[in-house]
Amino acid sequence: MEPIKSIKLATQSPCPAFGGLRILTRLEGFLPILLGNHGCYYGLNFLSHFYAARKSIYAPMLYSIDFTDRNLHHKLLEAIQQIIREEKPEFIPVINLCVATTVGIDIDEMARQIPEIIPIRITGFGTRSHAEAKDVALEGIFKKLKQLGDHKLREPKAVAAVGEIFPADAITLENLMVKLGLKFRAQVPSKDINDFRKALNVSTIACLHPFYTKTMRQFSEVGIDHIAGAPVGIENTYNWIKEIAAKAGADAALAEKVAREEQEAVRQVVNGPLNLKGARILVAGYEGIELLVARLLIEAGADVPYVSTSIGKSALTEADVNWLLARGIEVKFRKSAADDLVAVKKYKPDIALAATDVAAMGKELGSASVYFTNLISARPLFLAHGAENILGLMHHLLKSRNSLNRVREFFQDTEMARSIPVQEVQEYLGCSSCSACDDREAN
């Protein structure tokens, strides 16, 4: 039985509001308020407390009778004012979730009445993925700062980066900018609102993740140009350095020299003992960096047949997508869980980098799968050091296949809860008994 068509309806993503909270709870001096249903509060708090910040989120209990209350707006304002008196936050992002948006709670009007409020609208039916909700949150913050006039001290030859990256990568970027004779002013999102203020006053933005389309519009409106992509892998490293240098006004000869050096360093790693020839890796991410990761793996000789993401196509993804398509790779935007599950079955990868449920299925199939967020997004990716780290991880995973198969085989004769029936697993592995698989691996 394969009723997979039915789950195809959805883009795979947690509640988009989580993406917003990930940005907003991490900002010091911010006190986030949710407007919606207690079911949403519970789930989003839970997720945020271990994937965003150990910080409280406030919310009013709203029952159906409250939604018919004509004084609701007024009562909410009063409650928010009381919180301001008690907690004295610098900013209050008020996030309208599905139910509050549907009944039309007017957070823009609230923001006009209380200057601390940053109105943010994120719904499960309107915002397409949690990555794109981060874009909505950033847009909201930048709009607010512009209203406050925090964008009027433009500095030439200065760069800021937009996109959540591993801290070591931020240092890498800073060092790289110094080499190019540029100033690296800020990396956002961060925990410091001043970084956002700084970003509004640079000359060039490096948009590291390709879903920040609304945020880039905010920068364009004040005349700040941006470039897409990031210095990941051989080709991208060279191109990205050249492009940022040109946009930000660095010396062209110097840029060429730095770009060549860094590219050579990446090439040495990628073509060295860490190359991945003969390994098949499936890259199923959800926030755009999977395109860069896939390129790096392919340059290292891996066979990457399938790349998927939860975000939508935009000008920011164009270069990477064209590169992948030119190599005949299947690229899926707005993928569903079903797309990934089918791809894992179809391509039989050695490693699947995917969301939790797909990675779980990969493990059942004996593929050394890992959760994208915890393992890939949590390590450096840029330049030679990043390449070394990611390729090293892949080798580590490949080595772990024996232990994985040992446990998998232990459960093979029993009816366990599974994503896929045992018979399919055996067909997938192309053998009838599991000890044979291990033999195959040993050879």
Partner 1 sequence: MQMIRDVDLTNGYWGALYVLAPMRGNFCVIIDGPIGCHYVPVDSALNYTDAIPYLQNVYATHILEGDVALDGTLNKLKKLCGELIDHYDDIFILSCQESEIISSEGSMLEAEVDGRRIWYIHTRSLDSDDFQGRDDLMLHLYKHVAAKLPRQPKKTSDKPLVNIIGPTFGNFNHYADFAEVKRIVHGIGAEINVAFPFECALHDVTRLDDAAANIIMYQEYGQKLGEAMGKPMFFGPIGLEATQEFIVGLGEALGLRQQAEAFIAEEKRTTLQGFWDVWRSPHQDIFRTNTFGVYAHKTYADGLSRFLRDELGFEQYIYGVKTDRYRSKSAMNIEEALLENPPTLFFGCVNEKIYITEHILPTRFLPAATPMPIVCRSTGTPFMGFAGVVYITQIVSNELFDILYSHIHIEYTPEKDKRRRDRETARKEWEDQLKGKLVITEVKWPEETLAHMEKVLKKVPFFVRVSASKMLKVESEKIAKEQFRDYVTIEDVDQVYSRFKR
77 or 398: CB nearest partner 1? 77
* Region of 237-245, 269-277, 355-363, 393-401 interacting with partner 1 (CB under 8 A): 355-363
Q: Note every long-range contact of 108-115, with CB atoms under 8 Å and residues 24 or more positions apart, other chains counting.
A: 109/73, 110/73, 110/76, 110/77, 110/80, 113/77, 114/77, 114/80, 114/81, 114/84
Burial of 67 (0-12, 13-18, 19+ CB in 10 A): middle
Q: How far apart are CA 357 and CA 355, in angstroms?
A: 6
Nearest approach, Cβ of residue 25 and partner 1 (Å): 11
Tokens found for residue 89: 């936050």
161 or 354: CB nearest partner 1? 354
Does the protein bind partner 1 through residue 10 (CB under 8 A)?
yes
Does the protein bind partner 1 through residue 123 (CB under 8 A)?
yes
* Region of 21-29, 120-128, 211-219, 252-260 interacting with partner 1 (CB under 8 A): 120-128
Tell me, residue by residue from 57 to 76, as one string, x for binding to partner 1 by CB under 8 A and - for no binding. xxxxx-xx-xx-------xx
Count residues near partner 1 (CB under 8 A).
65
The closest alpha carbon to 119, from 34, 39, 195, 46, belongs to 34
Does the protein bind partner 1 through residue 33 (CB under 8 A)?
yes
* Region of 78-86, 257-265, 286-294, 433-441 interacting with partner 1 (CB under 8 A): 78-86
Does the protein bind partner 1 through residue 361 (CB under 8 A)?
yes
* Region of 152-160, 300-308, 344-352, 358-366 interacting with partner 1 (CB under 8 A): 358-366
* Region of 179-187, 203-211, 265-273, 354-362 interacting with partner 1 (CB under 8 A): 354-362
Cβ-based neighbours of 30, under 8 Å, separated by 6 or more: 24, 89, 90, 91, 92, 93, 193
Burial of 61 (0-12, 13-18, 19+ CB in 10 A): exposed
Tell me, residue by residue from 302 to 341, as one string, x for binding to partner 1 by CB under 8 A and - for no binding. ----------------------------------------
64 or 443: CB nearest partner 1? 64
Give Cα separations from 43 to 142, 262, 426 (angstroms).
27, 44, 37
Does the protein bind partner 1 through residue 42 (CB under 8 A)?
yes
Give Cα separations from 78 to 30, 70, 74, 85, 118 (angstroms).
19, 14, 6, 11, 16
CB 178 within 8 A of CB 184: yes
Tell me, residue by residue from 383 to 422, as one string, x for binding to partner 1 by CB under 8 A and - for no binding. ----------------------------------x-x---
Task: Tell the residue number behind the tokens 């988009």, with chain if given.
Answer: 16
Q: How far apart are CA 321 and CA 228, in angstroms?
A: 12
Q: How far apart are CA 181 and CA 185, in angstroms?
A: 13
275 or 373: CB nearest partner 1? 373
Nearest approach, Cβ of residue 66 and partner 1 (Å): 8
Cβ-based neighbours of 40, under 8 Å, separated by 6 or more: 15, 17, 34, 97, 98, 99
| Exposure string over 264-300, b if 16+ CB within 10 A, otherwise e | ebbbebbeeebbbeebbbbbbbbbbbbbbbbbbbbbb
Does the protein bind partner 1 through residue 89 (CB under 8 A)?
no
- Residue selected from 16, 140, 349, 380 as contacting partner 1 according to rule CB under 8 A: 16
* Region of 3-11, 180-188, 232-240, 397-405 interacting with partner 1 (CB under 8 A): 3-11
Nearest approach, Cβ of residue 108 and partner 1 (Å): 18
Give Cα separations from 421 to 191, 359, 428 (angstroms).
46, 16, 11
Q: How far apart are CA 259 and CA 264, in angstroms?
A: 8
265 or 420: CB nearest partner 1? 420
Does the protein bind partner 1 through residue 91 (CB under 8 A)?
no
Does the protein bind partner 1 through residue 368 (CB under 8 A)?
no
Largest separation between any pair of C-alpha atoms in the chain = 73
Does the protein bind partner 1 through residue 15 (CB under 8 A)?
yes
Does the protein bind partner 1 through residue 126 (CB under 8 A)?
yes
Cβ-based neighbours of 119, under 8 Å, separated by 6 or more: 94, 96, 107, 108, 110, 111, 140
- Residue selected from 20, 36, 119, 231 as contacting partner 1 according to rule CB under 8 A: 36
Does the protein bind partner 1 through residue 14 (CB under 8 A)?
yes
Does the protein bind partner 1 through residue 171 (CB under 8 A)?
no
**How many other C-beta atoms are found inside a 10 Å radius of the C-beta of residue 5?**
8
Residues that bind partner 1 (CB under 8 A): 1, 3, 5-7, 9-18, 33, 36-47, 49-50, 54-61, 63-64, 66-67, 75-76, 78-80, 82-83, 98-99, 102-103, 123-126, 355-357, 359-361, 417, 419
